[in-house]
């Protein structure tokens, strides 16, 4: 059975990080394919031979629709798994007009919290979709409350972190070296936040807590990520224990230094 994951871009984001983990854990499985609809300046690299990116830089393109159709036909795709809004629309159009027998899966990564139009679209797609995947129970509940999608159609699949990257015992020497370089004492506690810098990720709440935290223990907040609200985040930092790192390409470094992920 051949599965095509369709995603808007390979830019920085939670959906892309999830796909990177999935494909690299199945690097030898040639029945998995990934197709990104648009090329962006900053793209993640995924170690798998079946990674494809459309060379168009435009968000909307009629010609791209036919390139995706050609790709699905060429590789005899059985399951079309769609991530993010544009890919969800593309998947629906593929199912409706070209591939009646393909199994359509819509993966909702919480964009419905920022745009009610997406909720409306997901509702309209309902009759063509075999399964919806929600990244949290909250997303599932919102879909049930605001659409006609049956709860039996929705499965919750929470985003994952590779537990091997959190194994301090394998990198204790590296961890101690990094903490020394960061001028952290042995008993300093580091709370980490990694994600796209947008409101729904909760960075505002984290900054508010960190700015007002009084503790007998030394707690540092390390924030990794990039996004449209970086300037607002930096402007709200009032505590010297909050350290905004921006985008980090090597997350092993980040996982080595933190004691807890939020």
DSSP 179-206: HHHTT--TT-EEEEEES--SGGGTHHHH
Which element (helix H / strand E) includes 253? helix 251-257
Report H helices in 109-221.
116-124, 137-146, 172-181, 203-211
pLDDT at 167 over 70: no
What does the angle CA 54 – CA 251 – CA 138 come to, to the nearest 5 degrees?
A: 75
Backbone angles phi, psi at 183, to 5 degrees: 60, 45
pLDDT reading at 89 higher than 90: yes
Is the pLDDT confidence value at 74 over 90?
A: yes
Question: Cα(158)–Cα(256) distance, rounded to whole angstroms?
Answer: 23
Read off the pLDDT of each residue in 46-64 and give the average, rounded to a whole number: 87
pLDDT value at position 83? 95
What is the reported pLDDT for 31? 93
Output the pLDDT for position 163: 67
Which residue is associated with the tokens 């435009």?
A: 58
Q: How far apart are CA 50 and CA 78, in angstroms?
A: 16
């Amino acid at each position: 059975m051949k599965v095509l994951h369709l995603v808007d871009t390979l830019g920085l984001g939670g959906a892309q990080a999830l796909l990177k983990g999935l494909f690299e854990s199945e690097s030898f499985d040639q029945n998995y394919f990934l197709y990104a609809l648009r090329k962006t300046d900053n793209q993640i690299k995924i170690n798998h031979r079946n990674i494809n990116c459309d060379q168009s830089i435009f968000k909307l393109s009629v010609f791209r629709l036919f390139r995706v159709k050609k790709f699905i036909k060429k590789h005899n795709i059985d399951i079309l798994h769609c991530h993010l809004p544009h890919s969800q629309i593309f998947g629906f159009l593929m199912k409706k007009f070209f591939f009646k027998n393909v199994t359509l899966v819509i993966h909702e990564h919480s964009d419905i919290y920022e745009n009610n139009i997406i909720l409306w679209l997901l509702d309209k797609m309902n009759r063509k979709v075999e399964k919806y995947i929600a990244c949290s129970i909250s997303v599932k509940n919102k879909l049930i409350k605001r659409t006609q999608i049956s709860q039996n159609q929705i499965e919750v699949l929470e985003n994952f972190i590779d537990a091997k990257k959190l194994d301090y015992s394998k990198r204790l020497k590296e961890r101690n070296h990094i903490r020394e370089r960061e001028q952290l004492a042995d008993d300093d506690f580091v709370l980490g936040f990694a994600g796209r810098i947008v409101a729904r990720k909760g960075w505002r709440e984290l900054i508010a807590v960190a700015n007002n935290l009084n503790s007998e223990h030394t707690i540092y907040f390390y924030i990794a990520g990039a996004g449209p609200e970086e300037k607002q985040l930096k402007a709200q930092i009032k505590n010297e224990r909050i350290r905004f790192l921006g985008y980090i390409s090597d997350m092993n470094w980040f996982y080595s230094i933190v004691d807890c992920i939020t």
